[in-house]
């Protein structure tokens, strides 16, 4: 606040005297008037403290849902799927099944490309053979349109360019083994891909004993048409096979790349009786792919689940003691087929690699 002092000077003018003299002007000084002006300061509005809205407390986000694969339901018309206790641990490829070709071959899509896949270790009837449709339908119900996991053994592809794989469903079902267990497939070993050969043989024996699928009876809970074996027509001049030869004798595998230099005498073909009764294979013939490359079996009772080998030129009594007696290699390392004929000349098994 400031004090302002104002000095006012008053002048008194006295009029002229009658004598014409001018009366001097007297200036009377006035006391200085002190005028104190109080400057009233208009109060400034208080400084506004900016008020910000309270920072919202972040609400906790809902937990990110954990992706849980829903187990693929087992078809209601198939027995409980096989969940092997020896689930393999190698890394597996993930794919989606786009088409079922037959009982042991599918087409898959992976990484934007399509590939044919041949199941390893088992074989189902070919088109035109008994039980072809039933096996293909069983495979379709198991895998069509589903996500599958593929496990490689040793070989990448077969000679037809198909991927060779063991196939699993999301719920762990081992598809190759499941088809054998249900009786829609029989074992067929293609070296060197033999990882589960013994396991498949155990499943086949159980399927045969239970009479499932190929083995003459429908699966216990299956609605698929059961296989009723139809006797093959026999030439009128051929005798009817004896009753004990109702079994299923197959070529199980062929070891075609022997280690004996040049002559590969240690090559062999394995035949197995997958029936529930012994089979006398006397007079049966094993052909090594070319005319004249034959071994004719002597009278021999092949027992259920028994496996015998026919060597190129070695004798192994522990494997039944059979040999072609050939001084040169018989099985073509680049690919070949073996054929087994019964005593009536009917082809009963074929194995190609």
d(CA 269, CA 253): 6
118 is catalytic: yes
d(CA 84, CA 120): 16
Burial 212-246 (b: 16+ CB within 10 A, else e): bbbbbbbbeebebebbeeeeeeeeeeeeebeeebe
User: Six-digit token pair at 64?
Assistant: 């990110």
170 is catalytic: no
Of the residues 92, 93, 137, 162, which is catalytic? 162
107 is catalytic: no
Of the residues 96, 109, 126, 129, which is catalytic? 126
Report, as residue numbers or ranges, the catalytic residues: 118, 126, 162
């Amino acid at each position: 606040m400031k004090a302002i002092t104002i000095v006012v000077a008053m002048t008194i003018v006295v009029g002229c005297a009658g004598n014409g003299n001018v009366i001097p002007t007297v200036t009377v000084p006035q006391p200085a008037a002190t005028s104190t002006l109080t400057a009233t300061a208009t109060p400034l509005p208080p400084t506004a403290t900016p008020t910000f809205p309270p920072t919202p407390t972040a609400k906790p986000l809902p937990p990110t849902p954990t992706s849980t694969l829903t187990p693929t339901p087992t078809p209601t018309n198939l027995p409980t799927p096989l969940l092997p206790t020896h689930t393999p641990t190698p890394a597996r490829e993930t794919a989606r099944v786009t088409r079922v070709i037959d009982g042991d071959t599918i087409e898959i899509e992976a990484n934007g490309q399509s590939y044919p896949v041949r199941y390893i270790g088992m074989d189902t009837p070919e088109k035109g053979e008994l039980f072809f449709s039933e096996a293909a339908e069983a495979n379709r119900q198991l895998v069509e349109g589903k996500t599958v996991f593929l496990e490689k053994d040793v070989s990448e592809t077969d000679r037809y360019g198909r991927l060779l794989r063991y196939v699993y469903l999301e719920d762990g079902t081992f598809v190759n083994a499941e088809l054998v267990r249900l009786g829609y497939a029989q074992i067929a070993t293609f070296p060197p891909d033999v990882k589960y050969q013994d396991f498949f043989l155990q499943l086949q024996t159980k399927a045969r004993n239970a009479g499932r699928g190929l083995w003459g009876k429908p699966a216990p809970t299956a609605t698929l048409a059961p296989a009723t074996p139809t006797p093959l027509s026999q030439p009128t001049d051929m005798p009817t096979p004896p009753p004990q030869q109702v079994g299923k004798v197959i070529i199980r595998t062929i070891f075609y790349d022997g280690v004996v230099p040049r002559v590969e005498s240690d090559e062999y073909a394995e035949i197995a009786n997958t029936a529930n009764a012994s089979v006398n294979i006397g007079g049966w013939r094993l052909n090594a792919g070319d005319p004249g490359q034959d071994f004719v079996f002597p009278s021999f009772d092949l027992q259920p689940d028994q496996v015998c080998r026919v060597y190129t030129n070695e004798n192994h009594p522990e494997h039944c003691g059979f040999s072609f007696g050939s001084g040169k290699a018989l099985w073509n390392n680049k690919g070949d087929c073996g054929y087994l004929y019964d005593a009536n000349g009917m082809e009963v098994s074929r194995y190609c690699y």
